[in-house]
Amino acid sequence: MMKKPLLNCDMGESFGAWNMGLDEQVMPFVDCANIACGFHASDPVVMRRTVDLARQHDVRIGAHPSYPDLAGFGRRSMDCTLQEVENMLLYQIGALDGICAAEGVRVSYVKPHGALYNDMMRRPELLRAVMQAVSRYDPSLPLMLLARRDNSEALAIADEFGLSLMFEAFADRAYDPQGYLLGRAVPGAVHHDADLILTQALTLARAEPLTASDGSELRLHADTLCVHGDNPESVAVVRQIASALAELA
């Protein structure tokens, strides 16, 4: 029997009077909520409200740390030392976990956000710093990261720190031949067609090959699928994706 991948979504990305995402509409249909920790989005009020919403729907809570880039929504690479990266992850995970404790729940995994997520997949020393932070905070927490054509390097580094990994694929993004996400500035990098998003989600869930940007076949083995909460087309189809995934269970 095929294992049903978990459905995850980036959430809690509002800030003050600025609203981002449709968390209340999406939360009932996902398994995991990646909650922003204040560096690229969110604030203590938004974090606690989102944690409470996840608790109400029995959704797993993941820390979604980033570079300190509130103005750029965490999508700009920053020249941070490895020690700074470790420190900022500890700070953000701890902040969200403290709010979780007040609500009677816990952070159950870590998924870096935006540029930090993409940078760590291309820079082994940065991935090692991220894993060291997670390991020092709580080695039982899985790290969610990008499923690529070849995951052997990430698995080897995780073994060094005794961490488990959750490999993630994206229903609403295009890929290069090695399994990296195309940059958002590239035409077609983000899917905006609901039928295409649903089709790609099912293709990934069945471990069938996608078509990479060069036309080659790309097969990704994912434990979880991501739908972006700031993408209205993805939110519109999330109910259909959740229903289709349930049929695979």
- In order of start, what are the domains of the chain with their CATH numbers? 6-246 (3.20.20.370)
pLDDT grade, residue 1 (50/70/90)? Answer: very low
Is residue 34 within 8 Å of residue 108, measured between CB atoms? no
Q: Which residue has the tokens 């899917």?
A: 191
Mean pLDDT of the chain: 94
Is residue 79 within 8 Å of residue 109, measured between CB atoms? no
Give the pLDDT confidence of 97-128 residue by residue, as tens digits: 999 999 999 999 999 999 999 999 999 999 99
Looking at per-residue pLDDT, the higher value among 43 and 243 belongs to 43
d(CA 15, CA 8): 21
Calculate helix-pair angle for 82-102, 44-56, nearest 10 degrees.
60
What is the pLDDT, as a whole number, of residue 31? 97
Structure tokens at 224: 């979880």
Give the pLDDT confidence of 77-103 residue by residue, as tens digits: 999 999 999 999 999 999 999 999 999
Looking at per-residue pLDDT, the higher value among 237 and 206 belongs to 206
Name the residue among 123, 97, 124 with its Cα closest to residue 110: 97
Q: Which residue has the tokens 């109910």?
A: 239
Q: Does 3 have pLDDT greater than 80?
A: no
Average pLDDT over residues 167-176: 96
Q: Does 191 have pLDDT greater than 80?
A: yes
Average pLDDT over residues 222-234: 77
What is the pLDDT, as a whole number, of residue 22? 87
What is the pLDDT, as a whole number, of residue 229? 60
Q: Give every CB contact of residue 218 below 8 A, 6+ residues apart in sequence.
A: 149, 175, 177, 179, 209, 210, 211, 212
Calculate helix-pair angle for 124-137, 82-102, nearest 10 degrees.
40
d(CA 151, CA 145): 10
Strands 165-170 and 109-110: unpaired
Is residue 78 within 8 Å of residue 115, measured between CB atoms? yes
What is the pLDDT, as a whole number, of residue 2? 56
What is the pLDDT, as a whole number, of residue 233? 63
Q: How many CB atoms lie within 10 A of CB 80?
A: 17
What is the pLDDT, as a whole number, of residue 239? 87
pLDDT grade, residue 179 (50/70/90)? Answer: very high
Q: Does 196 have pLDDT greater than 70?
A: yes
Looking at per-residue pLDDT, the higher value among 21 and 249 belongs to 21
Q: Give every CB contact of residue 70 below 8 A, 6+ residues apart in sequence.
A: 15, 39, 40, 41
